Amino acid sequence: MLIIAVSVLIIGIAILAGTGFFQSDDLEINKKAMINDVNHIAMAARRYYTRPYALGGGNFSYSGFVVPQTYRSNLNGSYSAVALSPKVLQITGVSARDTACTMVAQIDSYGKSSNWTFTGDFE
């Protein structure tokens, strides 16, 4: 009887430890998926930036850029963008798993992302 009780206890501890490992992997997967989404938004922003006004672009300005509908909210998170200046766009993402987990990136006039900041468990 003692062997059965110890076995059950060991199995329970193993299950709890395994769950913790999977949750941290799941969070890392969510973070990487959101970084990928931000990079796709940055590519769309760069296309907008270089496109002339006549073709619906910003004519070398991020002012007026709107996050594409596909990326505003998806299984990974929700995203918004603000032009900090005509040549710098800030993209913010909030995780769908945990709203305390956020990321912010700035996109320059060449479409390059920088100044990444992460909050919550994304840190």
- SS3 (DSSP) at 91: strand
All structural domains of the chain with their residue ranges: 2-122
Cβ burial 30-65 (10 Å sphere, 16+ → b, else e):
bbebbbebbeebbebbbebbeeeeeeebbeebbeeb
Report CA dihedral (91, 96, 97, 99) to the nearest 10 degrees.
60
Give the DSSP per-residue string, 16-42: HHHHHHHHHHHHHHHHHHHHHHHHHHH
Residue predicted with more confidence, 121 or 13? 121
Query: What are the tens digits of pLDDT across the range 58-102?
Result: 999 999 999 999 999 999 999 999 999 999 999 999 999 999 999
* CA 33/CA 23 separation, integer angstroms: 15
Q: What is the pTM of this model?
A: 0.81
